[in-house]
A and B are shown apart, each in its own frame.
Chain A
């Protein structure tokens, strides 16, 4: 353990191999051998938030009020006050978000170990299936078929369900809210506990509003992704975009939420580091 004085003078001995790895990483990033893909939607007032029955509490959409813009309110500067919910826009779900994860240690945005904000992603392309069926459910069979092609999902990796849902730019089509509720894809109730128990996944990520399917309230275990993932201290990412730009394996995801005290989640700038195309 180093002292503050040692840290300040840089006198701590560092692992030279790790230092070389980081230097190589930066060199690759600067040279374009590692690309950065933004998986984040722009926070703007028109981006839909989840719709709950109107008598329940609601998540605020994004709003912004100008403080000044080089004018009499502040002659030399421009800035805004913004407001939104913890689950507005592209966002991270912490385990404390769900009742099943409420008593776990380190379950909130301010207490989750920071290492957990960096993890590999396995991207399961369900875009064709979701185009045919907005209620498409990811199954164990589908995952096993993916693994037959790309290898077993490694421990502590994100599972991202690519649905191309983010390409639905019309907000009504994006939410796809009909009279009997929301119709968007998600995992079924068997694959979620299986991913945790058999593959030790880090969490689950989607492009639609919610890590669960739109009709998941009607499952025998309602909202299985929220229920099981958070009960096991795993995480969620949702309303992501650009999943079609990621390789099936090998992307490194940076997803640090705002350090909100006892936060259940936060709008998050989700970035993916991916190898550049060969050649």
Chain B
């Protein structure tokens, strides 16, 4: 058990530690560790126009992906959990699980085939990229929210509110939204973490001007090692922050 744990941590933590060390190293070639200490790689990442553009693109994609997840995922999860018949619930769950079962690569090839035609010539557009991210993350949102709604016994609280005279709109505003707020926030932070690190699909369908941060990052590894390390650390910090916040709020949602 201990051996497994140590090996696991070694393979998980060691590369990240090396990235961190590398990002501050002056030069790093054919030695185990880099030599010299510098912060200039971070300055270069921050000032590089293609990194800057990709960073902004990524933030836009993440923001819109989250927004669309709320607008589509919340009503969908609500509809699934309030569906009276169990069959409907199971069918909806399976449908939303499909994008998880299908490899990203397959989805990307599908996108390329479908959207490079004359009728749907959207390949390489910013909005198609957002759509791709939504397709990949929506199942997560729907499943998390539907499960949380069930665990919160939302249906029963809604019934109670109905007997007290609250019509649907009032119930949604006063009961559903406040009760799922924390769960929704936690789901969106996870979606942000997934979206910010997404590479496979983005790499294949992003246009030259709408490349996301991870896609540009790959190019950086053909150049100076220190620059690549620094750029990766930036991504790592963003993704880890979102994940940590997500699990912290998820715990809050469950204890509420």
Query: Does A pair with B?
Result: no
Q: Chain B residues in contact with chain A, CB under 8 A?
A: none
